[in-house]
Structure 1
Amino acid sequence: MSSPQKPTNSSSSAPSYKLIAIITLSFLAATALCTGFALIVMEIISIPFLTPALRPLRPYLELGYKVVKPAVMIVWPLLTLGACLKIHVHSDFPSKSRWRMSSGWMFLQQLGMIITKVGTILTSKECPCGLRECWDAWVLLALLVVIPVATWKGWRWDFGYIDRYVDRLASESWEEDAKKKVQDAETGVKKDTDAAVEAAVSREAPEMPEKV
């Protein structure tokens, strides 16, 4: 995996918390909006005027859920896991611990669903559940084993998508660190200059004679 070239004046300080906050809040907002919309359309939550207006969309929502369900149940948890692992093995990523915590937290949000889905293999009436009946659980279980091994070996199991995303995050973090270092240096020079001028003025100021 290629590593972005660090700027010459970069530092190892923490990346801006704004980017982490934007990513986290965007994910939470999208999840809340989709969940609320689904609950209203399925009439689990009833809101006057809004629920009857959205009732005709229920068949389309059910069809969309059947299409999107595999991606939500399998692809998204694996992408968050892959991002966490690729940040960990990245050779030149600033403040790995903070970014690992952020991406790992997004993966842990899906952990309950993963345990429930994989648990159907052993808790179903067939015991174990067959590949035809629980194909998504078997695929998820297999990929949870394959992805860490593939990441450790350096295989591009995601066709380089997560690699490019992680490299872009690293480059943006280094650029922000470089700008912050330049701003801090300029602020420090200005403070030193002001202090030197004040000291020189105080030394050169003549003493006023005392009145008799």
Structure 2
Amino acid sequence: MSESRSTKHLVAIFILAFTLFIISIFAIVFISMDIIHIPYISHGLASFFSWINVILSPIYPFWAPLTLAFSIKLYRHEKFPKQGQWITSSILMFSQHLGQICVNTLKVFGFFDDICNFRNCWHEYFQIGSIAVVIIGEVLRLPWDGNVLQNWVEKLVLVCEKEEEKDTAKNNEDGMEKGVVGHSADEIEYLEDIKSGLDEE
């Protein structure tokens, strides 16, 4: 009787863990579908995440939440065009950690032969907990970051606006030059005659 109860208990835990895993995956995908695309940065994010894994491996549990928080800060700025792409690598990374959490939890409850406890897999729990804190903090608009990232993003917005103004001015100049070149020699001579006539008057 007790064995059947424990089996039902384990099955319920497995179903709950699997359900939470699926819900979390969909939540991350839905969140990411309304985020931004930054030229020259978004295209290099895959390489960035690959290198950051190696470089920051000594403080491994801490970098992913910070990266995610920075991305969310950027997303909140309306100055950037919202597109259907946002750090695909972070989605895969988050999914990987969620999967590892489920596996570790099942190991604790005896679903696998391997043993996992808080001592040898604490970083996974810390990682997923930190990411959850970041997301919840942003949803509730808690000033957990001391506005440090926000100030940096404000500067980035100004730089992007200046670059956009330069590009617009350059495009306008190119358009004006093309307009002049597009006129025939007779038309240009006719316009110059009219201008000289107006000057004489």
Specify the TM-score bucket, using the shorter chain as the normaliser: 0.5 to 0.7
Q: How far is 1:29 from its partner?
A: 6.7
Shift of 1:82: 1.5
Helix, strand or coil at the partner of 1:166? helix
Give the deviation of 1:149 after TM superposition: 1.9
Q: For 1:160 and 1:140, locate their aligned partners in 2 and report how far apart those are by CA, in whole Å.
A: 22
Equivalences, count: 152
State which of 114, 118, 128 in structure 1 corresponds to 2:97. Answer: 114
Q: 1:185 Cα deviation (Å)?
A: 0.8
Question: How far is 1:116 from its partner?
Answer: 3.7
- SS, match of residue 18 in structure 1: coil
Describe the shift of the 1:183–1:27 C-alpha distance in structure 2 as closer, same or farther (beyond 3 A): same
- 1:141 and 1:201 map into 2 onto residues whose CA distance is 69
Q: Give TM-score, length-normalised by structure 2.
A: 0.57
* Compared CA separation, residues 170 and 144, structure 1 to 2 (3 A): same
Unaligned 5+ segments in structure 1 are 1-13, 36-63, 205-212
Q: Secondary structure at the match of 1:138?
A: helix
TM-score by length of 1: 0.55
2:65–2:131 Cα contact (<8 Å) kept: yes
Amino acid at match of 1:110: M
Aligned-residue offset at 1:19: 4.3
Could you tell me how far apart the structure 2 residues matched to 1:97 and 1:199 are?
48
Amino acid at match of 1:141: I
Q: Which residue of 1 aligns with 2:158?
A: 171
Partners of 2:171 and 2:49 in 1: CA distance: 34
Q: Does 1:27 align with 2:39?
A: no
> What is the alpha-carbon distance in structure 1 between the residues aligned to residue 64 and residue 74 of structure 2?
16
Q: Highest relative contact order (Cα 8 Å, sep 6+), 1 or 2? A: 1
Which residue is equivalent to 2:147?
160
1:122: how far off? 1.4
User: Within 1, Cα distance between the matches of 2:189 and 2:179?
Assistant: 15
**CA-based RMSD:** 3.7
Question: Of the candidates 135, 140, 148, which is equivalent to residue 122 of structure 2?
Answer: 135
| Pair 1:17-2:39 in alignment | yes
Seq. identity, %: 15
> Aligned partners of 1:89, 1:16: CA distance in 2, in Å?
13
Amino acid corresponding to residue 90 of structure 2 in structure 1: F
SS in 1 for 2:83: helix
Code of the residue aligned with 1:106 in structure 2: it is S
Q: Deviations over 1:111-147 (max 9, x none)?
A: 3431244224412235696555543333233223221
